[in-house]
């Protein structure tokens, strides 16, 4: 690792007092290659000479001429590949929002500091600094072409993984969500975010859904015959729902597999739903008439959550993981979580909280009476063959620790 004295740090703040104070604190922590600047515009000019871009910038958000958010936009244009620490007198929520914004631009943020800055907090953030290679691959995710995806579907390279949904009050395993993976002959396991977009854009989603659904129904039947009655959920795309014969297609597959419609859940992502409400309204209503379960996924992340609930009689609401994990400690998340839960209750829907990652998340669900839980704390998505073994381990865990207070 690079020695502290070799890290180039820029402190950008319009108050000269803050510049002196932060430089002093940094010197005490043995960071000596520190420059200061009191205006974003001047800082950017200095970047344009060779080798002058800093490794780390301590950035004040509130500056009169060019504020911190605007400064970040200019950094993006210049392909800045160092890190940032945000500094501000704004409240925690404002700082968190700013941090998210910077992350969305794919710039590394070590964290934020409230003014007045405490030396200990500064030191803790600086601990997180690691040098980046200049050509660091950004989001190394490969993008696949439509032909590759089409061939993969035809060749049986798409495999279903299953993630349990459990009843919070009793620990009982209520069902599973089917999550597709591509077992790529060269690249190993490829996750859906890397190919669903291409699949939808090239009209291949009906083929993929058929394969996933057929596999999930067959698996459901196998479990049923082994005495495991599980509700099996499958993710469907908006593009599936605009074809009006989709309900008959699903009903046909379920009948052929011998699985009752009440045991099949179709999860629809809310943010995609709003694009063509009329067709999806008709398709979803007919699916419900056939007694399939319909679930609104990623609830709260779209722009018309309430309108969707008004128009479509969903059976289940899934609170998006971004409002669940950590909600016990964050007022804003907690407000979103509570509101989603309350809404679902009043409309008589079953509520699933996604993204339950630790015991604190689990305890929040228990204390607020959420119906179902899903997330890494309970289980990661797994191959079908691993489910019976997991259930045994889970039951022991439930009996020993999960239904009691800590």
- Residues in the site for Ca ion, rule: CB under 5 A? 235, 267, 297-298
249 binds ligand C2E (CB under 6 A): no
The CA distance from 67 to 174, in Å, is: 50
Which residues have a Cβ under 8 Å from the Cβ of 271 and sit 6 or more positions away? 298, 301, 302, 303
Binding residue for ligand C2E, selected from 87, 168, 212, 384, defined by CB under 6 A: 212
Distance of CA 180 to the CA centre of its chain: 16
Cα angle 267-217-322, degrees, rounded to a multiple of 5: 25
Q: What is the DSSP letter of 342?
A: H
Spatial separation of the C-alpha atoms in residues 153 and 175, rounded to whole Å: 26
Tokens (6 digits) for 32: 């000596």
Q: Decide: 371 and 168 in contact? Cβ < 8 Å.
A: yes
Task: Establish if 321 lies at the interface with ligand C2E (CB under 6 A).
Answer: yes
How many Å from the N-terminal Cα to the C-terminal Cα in the chain? 41
Contact stretch for ligand C2E (CB under 6 A) within 18-26, 31-39, 185-193, 283-291 = 185-193
- 326 binds ligand C2E, rule: CB under 6 A: no
- Asked if 36 contacts 19 with a C-beta cutoff of 8 angstroms, the reply is yes
Asked if 271 interacts with ligand C2E (CB under 6 A), we say no
Residue 375 interacting partner from Ca ion, ligand C2E, none (CB closer than 5 to 8 Å by kind): ligand C2E
Per-residue binding string, ligand C2E, 29-68, x by CB under 6 A, is ----------------------------------------
Counting contacts by CB under 6 A, is residue 390 touching ligand C2E?
no
| CB-nearer residue toward ligand C2E: 117 or 398 | 398
Torsions phi, psi for 317 (to 5 deg): -125, 130
Least distance to ligand C2E, CB of residue 129, Å: 25
The residue within the footprint of ligand C2E, chosen from 193, 346, 385, 392 (CB under 6 A), is: 193
Binding part of the chain for ligand C2E, among 134-142, 145-153, 275-283, 375-383 by CB under 6 A, reads: 375-383
Relative to beta strand 158-167, strand 173-184 is antiparallel
List 198, 375, 387, 394, residue binding ligand C2E (CB under 6 A): 375
Beta-carbon contacts of residue 94 (< 8 Å; ≥ 6 apart): 88
- Interface positions with ligand C2E (CB under 6 A): 163, 179-180, 191-193, 196, 212, 235-237, 267, 269, 297-298, 321, 355-357, 375-376, 381
């Amino acid at each position: 690792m690079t020695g502290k004295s070799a890290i180039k740090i820029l402190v950008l703040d319009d108050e000269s007092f803050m510049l002196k104070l932060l430089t002093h604190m940094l010197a005490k922590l043995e960071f000596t290659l520190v420059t200061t600047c009191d205006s974003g515009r001047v800082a950017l000019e200095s970047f344009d000479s060779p080798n002058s871009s800093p490794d780390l910038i301590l950035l004040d958000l509130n500056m009169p001429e060019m504020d911190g958010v605007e400064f970040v936009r200019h950094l993006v244009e210049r392909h800045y590949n160092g890190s940032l620490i945000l500094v501000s007198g704004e409240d925690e929520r404002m700082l968190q929002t700013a941090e998210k914004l910077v992350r969305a631009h794919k710039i590394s943020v070590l964290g934020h500091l409230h003014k007045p800055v405490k030396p200990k907090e500064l030191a803790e953030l600086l601990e997180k600094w690691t040098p980046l290679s200049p050509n660091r691959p950004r989001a190394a995710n490969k993008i696949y072409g439509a032909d590759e995806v089409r061939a993969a579907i035809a060749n049986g390279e798409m495999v279903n993984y299953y993630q349990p949904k459990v009843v919070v009050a009793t620990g009982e395993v209520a069902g599973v969500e089917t999550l597709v993976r591509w077992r790529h002959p060269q690249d190993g396991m490829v996750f859906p975010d890397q190919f669903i977009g291409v699949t939808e854009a090239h009209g291949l989603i009906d083929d993929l859904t058929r394969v996933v659904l057929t596999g999930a129904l067959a698996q459901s039947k196998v479990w049923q015959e082994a005495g495991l009655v599980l509700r099996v959920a499958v993710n469907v795309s908006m593009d599936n729902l605009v074809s009006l014969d989709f309900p008959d297609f699903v009903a046909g597959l379920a009948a052929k597999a011998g699985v009752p419609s009440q045991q099949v859940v179709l999860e629809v992502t809310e943010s995609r739903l709003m694009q063509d409400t009329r067709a999806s309204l008709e398709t979803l209503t007919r699916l419900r008439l056939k007694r399939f379960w319909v679930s609104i996924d990623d609830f709260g992340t779209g722009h018309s959550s309430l309108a969707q609930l008004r128009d479509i009689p969903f059976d289940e609401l899934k609170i998006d993981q971004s409002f669940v994990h950590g909600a016990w400690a964050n007022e804003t998340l907690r407000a979103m979580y509570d509101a989603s839960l309350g809404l679902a209750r009043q409309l008589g829907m079953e509520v699933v909280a996604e993204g339950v990652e630790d015991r604190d998340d689990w305890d929040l669900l228990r204390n607020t009476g959420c119906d179902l839980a899903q997330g890494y704390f309970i289980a990661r998505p797994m191959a079908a063959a691993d489910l019976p073994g997991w259930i045994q381990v889970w039951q022991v865990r439930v009996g020993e620790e999960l239904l009691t207070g800590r």
